[in-house]
Amino acid sequence: MTGTFFPQPIFEGAEKRLELDFELACRSVEEVMVVESADSDSEASCGLRTLKEAEWNKLLQPAECCIVSSKSNGYCDAYLLSESSLFVYESRVVLKTCGRTKILDAVPGIVSAALENQQIGLKLRRAKYSRSAFKCPEQQPEPHTNFSLEVEALNGLFGHLKGGGHAYVLGDQVSNALWHVYTAGQVQEMIMESRIAKEDLMTLEICMTGLDSKYCEQFTCDANSNLKGTKKKLRTESGIEKMLGSQEAIDDYVFDPCGYSLNSVKGETLVTIHITPEDSFSYASIEVCGIKRSEDFDSNAFVQLVADLFKPQSLYVVATCDGFASALEWCDCKLGHSEPGAGSGQMFEKLFSANQVMTRYGNCAFHAFASDGVREEFGSGNMAAKLDKPPFSPITVLREDGMSFSDSSSSGSSEEAQRDETLLPLSESDMDTNFVKRVRADTIETSNCVERYAGCKIRELGLEDTFYVFDLGNVYRRMKTWQRLLPRVKPFYAVKCNPDPGVLSTLASLGTGFDCASQMELESVLSLGVSPDSVVYANACKRPSDLRHMRQTGTLLTTFDSESELLKIKQYHPSAQVVLRIRADDPNARCYLGNKYGAETYEVEHLLRKTIELGLNLVGVSFHVGSGASDPEAFRMAIGLARQVFNAALALGITTMDLLDIGGGFSGGTGDGTEALGKVARVIRASLDKHFGEEGRYRIIAEPGRYFSEGACSLFTCVYGKRRREEKMEYWLTDGLYGSMNCVIYDHAKLAPKPFFLKSSAPVEDLDLYSSTLFGPTCDGLDTVLKDVMMPRLDNGDWIIFPAMGAYTISAASNFNGISACDPQIFYVVSKTE
Ligand SMILES: *Cc1c(COP(=O)(O)O)cnc(C)c1O
């Protein structure tokens, strides 16, 4: 889940690299040395290697990357990541992540895992962060947008280490051929004093842009997402094998549709290669790390080999020594002067070399080359300018905190938006918008400004296809309303209702739990950093793989309503906390569920006995009155029924029950939720007081879906075809029953279309209305959104708004007929009031 909800025309190949060295907590240096040498002989994993793949995956979540495969040798566990690589030694971690990853967000977790795990007990000794220049720094998440912000963040994380933090920028500022390094902490004191205790280890990093496109073609999949040959063949033919020499463990991965990553280890030395082959932003990095100074390694020959293969337009070489040997001497990089030889014949000009001795931390040398004639390829700034379109419109280039509508980089068209006074943010914030995470959101004054905002977007971006505006301010106010009206009930948002990452992350930071029913839903929630304790797997009939996945992720709470489900749980996830779902439904609900889920009263006793017999941990009772329930009395009956189940369980000697889950079924609609919840909340509070009154004795949760997401999302569709049939008008819209309007079929939704942003200049109220039919875009007669609605005369390019379209719309859309309706463009806003 790496920011795929924004247009990302450029992939940032350049990696952020973090190296963390640890030492045993509360031991003297001498002991550390003894332990370190003892460790390398033993076969069993020690130190950080005690942590296994699943744990690392969790630790990497905040950085927004995950493990795709792994290989190990006696020294190191090497993980290939969705974005680059992770190497774990007993007391050292090397983490490289590319794209828009948030590498620093993973640090606190790793550091505390190292210290707090009883079997590890390591504390951080020193840290090093480095990177080259980004092509599009403005697309990076903070603090990576510029180095000073990064240094501030790094000092926050590492500044306390003995020796303090230091930051260096090497290279040419004008052409943006730069290398950034931050270090904190120091070489072990004993080594510093004696200068001989440990052999210096060298690292060679090569970064290249403007790669030879013929060469890059090898690292793409064919149209069927298949590799063109075997990976072994690819390694041989691409010359990568030659680069590796004899390695012990090779692990490589070809991404679909393109991209290549490789890890390999030999002894303590690691090699890692990452290739982003796309022509307009090609990038490759090659690192050899942990080479002993005394080892026979010809760094110049290695660089020449790499340069001949990739034929890059620009090439950086960074040599680093973690001790006292000179990195510059070890790698003086004569590349520019060597003869073309058997290679491409491409000549490289050395632009400059820089040498940096780092305070108490070794030293590094930085060399920059350009292939003859092409030097402007260097530099991040020009890159974006060279593209036809800016990466995304200035107005959406807004800060992560979601508060600033006017960004320093905005220009032209966004000034127009700023003059539009309803769009200006309040000078004083009466609302803490820190809850907006992971997505960029523009601030608007009231929820009524959504239409205006959409109008600006249409004009500014020339939109012509379906899009949504999600008002996260509305989600926020609905949470406040919930807490006010149902203070005893903790909401667990039903992900299926709308799994949009902006909605999920907003709810997560407002402190809701989540109701998941599949592996994908659970993954998307956990990847936000939500604890498995805040998840109820409220699918009463799970597939074996779902149960295994629950178990793997440490998710415990789940519902059941049959004996067969209990047997499955016993088999696949015996430590689960099970919740008996009973049938207690409102027969008038918009979506009736009682036919499929919920144990009948006469089945309850048998199921209770079965949980005892199987030794399962029964923790409570749940129900769902049906989605879009209309009668608050359904909750009164259901809570009463749940009490009877608690009593029956007690009579059987079950004393473990403390959870009541009152399910979903709350109304959506527009507004801050007071209207939706008011009446039903009163009934629920009274019933809870009556049946579950004992303060502190019960955990009460609910699984609202519609309540949180329906009103927050407005759908905008464009008219792109029209016809007149006698007195009636017919229009074609960019969205239909196979897209978001599937809610007409599955969710019995009543749509309320509103013409909007018409080309006609007359006020909408004054226009004559005609009976109209609205068609969806697929070639199916069924795809008729509405018939005989009264509409003013519309033109191609006019728009229609469908408000309150956040529930059961996108989540069930399909791409039928090749019309992609599953991931429409989404704009996030935060309105300050309704
Ligand atoms: C769909 C569903 C919900 C959400 O229902 P809403 O009516 O959207 O609140 C809650 N719990 C379960 C088990 C569901 O299947």
Contact 311, 372 (CB under 8 A): no
| Distance of CA 481 from the midpoint of ligand 1 (Å) | 19
Atom in ligand 1 nearest the alpha carbon of residue 704? 9
DSSP string of 166-211, one letter each residue? EEEEEEETTTTEEEEEEEEE-S-HHHHHHS-SS--EEEEEEEEES-
Contact 425, 390 (CB under 8 A): no
| Distance of CA 823 from the midpoint of ligand 1 (Å) | 22
Beta bridge partners of 355: 365
Q: Which domains does the chain have, with CATH numbers?
A: 9-380 (3.60.90.10), 478-706 (3.20.20.10)
Tokens of 606: 């048998």
pTM tops 0.75: no
| Distance of CA 494 from the midpoint of ligand 1 (Å) | 6
Tokens of 265: 């280890």
Contact 485, 681 (CB under 8 A): yes
Cβ–ligand 1 contact at 664 (below 6 Å)? yes
| Distance of CA 486 from the midpoint of ligand 1 (Å) | 17
Atom in ligand 1 nearest the alpha carbon of residue 628? 7
| Distance of CA 756 from the midpoint of ligand 1 (Å) | 32
Cβ–ligand 1 contact at 703 (below 6 Å)? yes
User: Inter-axis angle of helices 601-614 and 633-651, to 10 degrees?
Assistant: 40
| Distance of CA 246 from the midpoint of ligand 1 (Å) | 56
**521-526 own/partner pairs: CB under 8 Å, 24+ apart:** 521/495, 521/496, 522/549, 522/550, 522/553, 522/555, 524/1, 524/495, 524/499, 525/495, 526/58, 526/61, 526/553
Ligand 1 mutation target, pool 515, 537, 539, 746, most atoms within 8 A of CB: 515
Contact 762, 605 (CB under 8 A): no
Cβ–ligand 1 contact at 665 (below 6 Å)? yes
Atom in ligand 1 nearest the alpha carbon of residue 707? 9
Torsion, Cα 448 454 459 464, to 10 degrees, reads -140
Tokens of 412: 């032209």
| Distance of CA 456 from the midpoint of ligand 1 (Å) | 35
Atom in ligand 1 nearest the alpha carbon of residue 665? 7
Atom in ligand 1 nearest the alpha carbon of residue 559? 13
Cβ–ligand 1 contact at 210 (below 6 Å)? no
The C-alpha angle with vertex 522 and arms to 520 and 527, in degrees rounded to 5, equals 95
| Distance of CA 702 from the midpoint of ligand 1 (Å) | 9
Tokens of 783: 């795809």
Cβ–ligand 1 contact at 521 (below 6 Å)? no
Count other Cβ atoms within 10 Å, centred on residue 394: 20
Atom in ligand 1 nearest the alpha carbon of residue 705? 8
Contact 815, 421 (CB under 8 A): no
Atom in ligand 1 nearest the alpha carbon of residue 664? 9
Of 98, 449, 591, 779, which is the active-site residue? 779
The terminus-to-terminus CA distance of the chain in angstroms comes to 31
3-class SS at 524?
helix
3-class SS at 22?
strand
Contact 149, 156 (CB under 8 A): no
What is the C-alpha separation between 186 and 552, in angstroms, rounded?
39
Rounded CA Rg of the chain = 30
Cβ–ligand 1 contact at 704 (below 6 Å)? yes
Cβ–ligand 1 contact at 661 (below 6 Å)? no
Cβ–ligand 1 contact at 668 (below 6 Å)? no
Cβ–ligand 1 contact at 806 (below 6 Å)? no
Q: Give the pLDDT confidence score for residue 400 in this predicted structure.
A: 30
Ligand 1 mutation target, pool 516, 627, 809, most atoms within 8 A of CB: 627
What is the C-alpha separation between 442 and 404, in angstroms, rounded?
7
What confidence tens digit (pLDDT) does each residue in 690-725 have? 999 987 899 999 999 999 999 999 999 999 999 999
Beta bridge partners of 288: 204, 271
Cβ–ligand 1 contact at 538 (below 6 Å)? yes
Ligand 1 mutation target, pool 478, 497, 582, most atoms within 8 A of CB: 497
| Distance of CA 90 from the midpoint of ligand 1 (Å) | 46
- Residue type at 406 in one-letter notation: S
Kindly tell me the burial class for residue 334, based on how many C-beta atoms sit within 10 Å of its own C-beta (0-12, 13-18, 19 or more).
middle
Which residues in 345-466 belong to E strands, given as ranges?
348-357, 363-371, 441-446
Running along the chain, 834 residues long, what does each successive block of 10 average in pLDDT?
39 93 68 45 71 92 90 91 93 94 95 88 92 89 93 94 92 90 78 56 94 90 76 90 82 86 91 91 93 88 92 94 88 64 65 90 92 44 29 26 32 36 34 74 89 90 94 95 95 97 94 96 92 96 96 96 97 97 83 83 96 97 89 92 96 95 94 93 96 92 97 97 93 95 90 84 81 94 93 93 95 86 90 90
* Closest Cα to atom 13 of ligand 1: 538
Q: Give the pLDDT confidence score for residue 191 in this predicted structure.
A: 52
Cβ–ligand 1 contact at 494 (below 6 Å)? yes
* Beta-strand pair 535-537/122-132: unpaired
- The helix or strand, by DSSP H or E, that contains position 457, with its residue range, turns out to be helix 450-461
Cβ–ligand 1 contact at 515 (below 6 Å)? yes
What is the C-alpha separation between 132 and 366, in angstroms, rounded?
10
Cβ–ligand 1 contact at 275 (below 6 Å)? no
Q: Give the pLDDT confidence score for residue 345 in this predicted structure.
A: 59
3-class SS at 223?
coil
* Closest Cα to atom 5 of ligand 1: 664
What confidence tens digit (pLDDT) does each residue in 260-297 have? 999 999 888 999 999 999 888 899 999 999 998 888 88
Q: Which among 93, 91, 64 has a CA at the least distance from the CA of 78?
A: 93
Beta bridge partners of 791: 770
Tokens of 632: 């608050």
Cβ–ligand 1 contact at 663 (below 6 Å)? yes
- Residue type at 228 in one-letter notation: K
Q: Give the pLDDT confidence score for residue 340 in this predicted structure.
A: 42
Beta bridge partners of 627: 591
What is the C-alpha separation between 262 and 251, in angstroms, rounded?
6
The yes-or-no answer on residue 779 being catalytic is: yes
Distant-in-sequence, close-in-space partners of 743: CB < 8 Å, separation ≥ 6: 749, 805, 807, 808, 809, 812
Q: Give the pLDDT confidence score for residue 170 in this predicted structure.
A: 95
| Distance of CA 634 from the midpoint of ligand 1 (Å) | 15
Kindly tell me the burial class for residue 613, based on how many C-beta atoms sit within 10 Å of its own C-beta (0-12, 13-18, 19 or more).
exposed
